[in-house]
Amino acid sequence: MSMINKPIPEFTAQAFHNGEFKTVTSEDVKGQWSIFVFYPADFTFVCPTELEDMAKYYEELQGLGVEVYSVSTDTHFTHKAWHDTSDAIGKINYPMIGDPTGVISRGFGVMIEEEGLALRGTFLADPEGIIKVCEIHDLGIGRSAKDMVRKVKAAQYVATHDGEVCPAAWEQGQETLTPSLDLVGKI
């Protein structure tokens, strides 16, 4: 079942953020664009490369009015320990949400029940908490934060330009399309 245009699931969780533990709820994330980056587990292999890659683009994303939340089935205590011991994870300034019960992972449809881990899922929600982008990978396939930034810009453009759509590989500043009968069969 597709998550596109559905509201993010309700949740309340503990996160490690900027050296502190804090509570994050589904209501807290509304009012701005949000990216949820689910990953299998702390202290692993592909996960730190992805989270470090996202950290590289975090400032740009914040400039676009986007908050990033990484989520795994580890606890917020484990997130702190990983942040304190890993050079890659030490670069993270966005909230790292703990989901030890798997409630959030199940709500987003990425829980691997038999392993108690989440798939690599990336979700972009608009300020109303409606999911606009959903991408789910198998565990061995890493994601690109650079491409997620491109998707954020496209989603924000479409949200503010009624009737326009962004073609494949669209980059900010490029031409968009206005679907019409005149375009059918001409692209």
**Is residue 47 among the annotated active site residues?**
yes
Of 29, 47, 55, 145, catalytic? 47
Q: Would the CA dihedral through 45, 70, 116, 139 be positive or negative?
A: negative
Q: Which residues carry out catalysis?
A: 47
